[in-house]
Structure 1
Amino acid sequence: MTLRNSRDLMAWQPPIGWRELSGEQRQAYLKRHGIRIPLRPADWEEMDHDQCMDYLAWHSWILSDTPEARAAKDHEYRKDLRAWNVLMGWWIFCLLVGLGLIWGTGTLGEGIGPRIGITLFAGVGYTVAIFVPMQITRPFPPR
């Protein structure tokens, strides 16, 4: 069974349990049932950009969303999150050491005004330079 255009291809629904099949099992199922899913369907040239992207997402879901691929994405996410947490912890440690040097030593004399000023400067600077960008770049779990 050769489906020609994108509408027919995307109307095909995989059998129950498809999500748990490995890539090899999926290819074997498609071959056994005579289903050929091309990367570019016959009506590719007539499709607009959104339709092409929808088709490519469907194609990826059908052929590439295997348990192995999901496990690899999850492993990569956990590795990235661990690295992010270590880096965030390092920056917090550096901030605390800096504040400890300001408040714990007598380098600024007895004046509390300069200490509060430097503390506010360090807190705002840390937030703008490190904390906000780190929150933006925090890894997201895979879908």
Structure 2
Amino acid sequence: MTLRTSRDFMAWQPPTGWRELRGDQRHSYLEQHGIRIPLRPADWEQLDHDRRMAYLAWHSQILSDTPDARAAKEREYRKDLRAWNVLMGWWILCLLVGLGIVWGTGALGESIGLRIGITLFAGVGYTMAIFIPMLISRPSPPCT
């Protein structure tokens, strides 16, 4: 099969069951059918940046998106999410300990206004400095 341009390569449809094949099985299938998918097709120099990126994404999907790679991405996501949950729990524990010291001890005397002020300052400061950035940086699951 003679595929030369990026349009020809990207028009090629893999056979059914392709997603379940391992990398070596994919390469052997391509070799058996005489398909050689280069990293850069013949029309690489004529392609604009968006078409180049589309071709590279297609190339990666065809050759690298194997069940093993998807499982590795899922394991990495679960590891990152576990670390994120531990860090978030640590920050909540620190906040609760700080508030426990303010409200549970006699360190500030009988000044309720000062305790409420420190509580509001800690709550707002924690939300702005830790909680919102942590929510934004929460790991997202891999695309399948």
Question: How do residues 32-71 of structure 1 correspond to structure 2 at under 5 angstroms?
Answer: 32-71=32-71
Question: How do residues 1-143 of structure 1 correspond to structure 2 at under 5 angstroms?
Answer: 1-143=1-143
CA distance in 2, matches of 1:27, 1:101: 63
Cα shift at 1:2: 2.7
- Specify the code of the residue in structure 2 equivalent to 1:128: M
Structure 1 residue ranges without an equivalent (≥5): none
Q: Percent identity?
A: 79
Structure 2 residue ranges without an equivalent (≥5): none
Cα shift at 1:120: 0.4
- Specify the code of the residue in structure 2 equivalent to 1:116: I
TM-score scaled to structure 2, two decimals? Answer: 0.98
- Specify the code of the residue in structure 1 equivalent to 2:108: L
Cα shift at 1:105: 0.6
- Specify the code of the residue in structure 1 equivalent to 2:103: W
CA distance in 1, matches of 2:107, 2:2: 80
- Specify the code of the residue in structure 2 equivalent to 1:68: D
Q: How large is the Cα RMSD of the aligned pairs?
A: 0.6
Residue aligned with 1:40, SS? coil
What does the per-residue CA deviation read over 1:65-110, in whole Å, with 9 as the maximum and x for residues that have no partner? 0000000000000000000100000000000000000000111111
- Specify the code of the residue in structure 1 equivalent to 2:4: R
- Specify the code of the residue in structure 1 equivalent to 2:126: Y
What does the per-residue CA deviation read over 1:30-51, in whole Å, with 9 as the maximum and x for residues that have no partner? 0000001010000000000000
Residue aligned with 2:120, SS? helix
